[in-house]
Amino acid sequence: MLRKIRITLALLLFVAITLLVLDFTSSFNMLFSWIAKMQLVPAILAANFIVVAVLAIVTLLMGRIYCSVVCPMGTYMDCVAWLSRKLFQKGRAKYHHIEHPLVHNVIRGSFLALFIILMVCGMVGVASLIAPYSSYVRMTLTILKPLYLIGNNALAYIAEQMDSYAFYDVEVWFQPTLVLITTLITWLIITIMAARWGRLYCNSICPVGSVLGLLARFSWFKPVIANDKCVHCGLCERGCKAQAIKITRDETAIDYTRCVDCFDCLEACKHGAVEFKGSGFKVQGSRVQGSTNESNKTNKTNRTNEVPSRRTFLLTALSAGAGAALAQTGKKMDGGLAVVKDKVIPERQTPILPPGAQSAEYFAKHCTACQLCVSECPNDVLRASTDLLHFMQPVMGYEYGYCREECHKCSDVCPTGAIKLADAAMKTSTKVGQAHWIKKNCIPVTDGVDCGNCARHCPTGAIEMIPLDENDEEGAYIPMINEARCIGCGACENLCPARPLSAIIVEGIEQQQTI
């Protein structure tokens, strides 16, 4: 019963946080944003001592139940391990470090020390490479969101061909190559470790698992092997996903720093020898028999029959997505005559941070680089940084859109408070950068007609068109930027028709200001 409850809760939270990351509709943010804020690392960075205290108390009470229920990375690894066993009929790896606990403690102690040093030095983005919550969110965004966008664009293309709806622009998911490669390598390593060794990542690399493991040694409720009932069959040892149980002829032992309270051992034991108990409380394991060879043969037959349908589905989806992408090639035309060049990302001296980030120093120390704000940004303004000191933390760019004054979704979803905006009014008065006009990029005057696109679309009225020659008011006009009114939203840079570089470039500032 405990195992079924644990699996149900873990799957519910796992699905909820995945929907929050992908955010197919805006309602998921309102429903599930609290799940991101109850993750341990974001709670620490947000100085949310209530959440940290609750997680510590729960760990002291029931052990590492957080790792088995709340952490999305843990549930993902359980799914991978389960699928691996079903596909390859391979048992779980035994705990081979229990004879040499010093080696294991040195390994995970080194990763924990490295994580703490990076955090103290303000390199939170680099430290987040081994943090479970941030890693899972980045993996989900990198792998699942493109698939969703391909399907969404394919449906839009089909709808256009059927004349059902007007065609709408393809959504853009921008990931720098270095960030993409790093995320894919992280996903590959974690997936292989989970498929081969179960929760080895949790117990050797994960800093959250290492910290909670220290507390779990003193937990009140914990699984215990009753020596008077144990027949040393080793079923609990083979069924332990955390490789925390050691069974020999002479001894039985459980490493509680590794145990994630999955309750699999309770179900695996046929003799009720494994008990989850504390002071005055005890739950015995059920006597569930293992699967038969006939059921294994049936599973193999079903998997064989499912292969063609999966291949057909994947080929159909890829074909539709490719068709939608090819269809968009014809859309980037000016009247069908000239190809419109894409904007080039300008080299900024200072990165532009999201409104509410306060300062470069504050943001670097509080952002977990989970990129949840990148996923939620409806204007495609945020993307991951490739700078080493701020690796994978979000910065702003205006190639695909600009930061609209009425939007503050990044602040709503940020679990650490790295982005703080009380409301939209606060955003319109927050200066994140300064626009600069570049004369050589500006579109030249044609028959006395000036562009003036930047002045027309500036939401704060910071740009005014003035005569190039003050003595000739009927001549060419150029933009003049009022630095006191400019907030760096990027509307001028994004909507400037000049290609490949805009005639107005926004530079970031170290300390955001209120104007």
Per-residue pLDDT of the chain (515 residues), as tens digits, is 888 999 999 999 999 998 888 875 566 777 788 888 899 999 999 989 999 999 999 999 999 999 999 999 999 999 999 898 888 766 555 555 444 566 678 888 999 999 999 999 888 989 999 999 999 999 988 887 777 666 666 665 565 555 444 434 444 556 778 888 899 999 999 999 999 888 989 988 999 999 999 999 899 998 998 888 888 888 888 888 888 888 888 778 888 888 999 998 888 888 888 888 875 444 544 333 333 334 344 444 444 444 445 445 444 544 444 444 444 444 444 444 455 566 778 889 999 999 999 999 999 999 999 988 888 888 889 988 888 888 899 999 998 889 998 888 889 889 999 999 877 788 888 999 999 999 888 876 655 567 888 999 999 999 998 887 777 767 778 899 999 999 999 999 999 988 888 999 999 999 999 88
Q: For the residues of 239-284, what is the DSSP string, one character each? A: H-TT--EEE-SS-EEE-TTT-----HHHHH-SSS-EEEEETTEEEE
Count the Cβ atoms, other than its own, within 10 Å of residue 222: 19
Is residue 59 left, alpha or beta, with left meaning phi > 0 and alpha meaning psi from -120 to 50? alpha
Q: Indicate the burial class of 395 (C-beta count within 10 angstroms; 0-12, 13-18, 19 or more).
A: buried
* CA–CA distance, 296 with 129 (Å, rounded to integer): 38
Residue 7: φ, ψ to 5°: -65, -40
The pTM of the full predicted model, rounded to 2 decimals, is 0.76
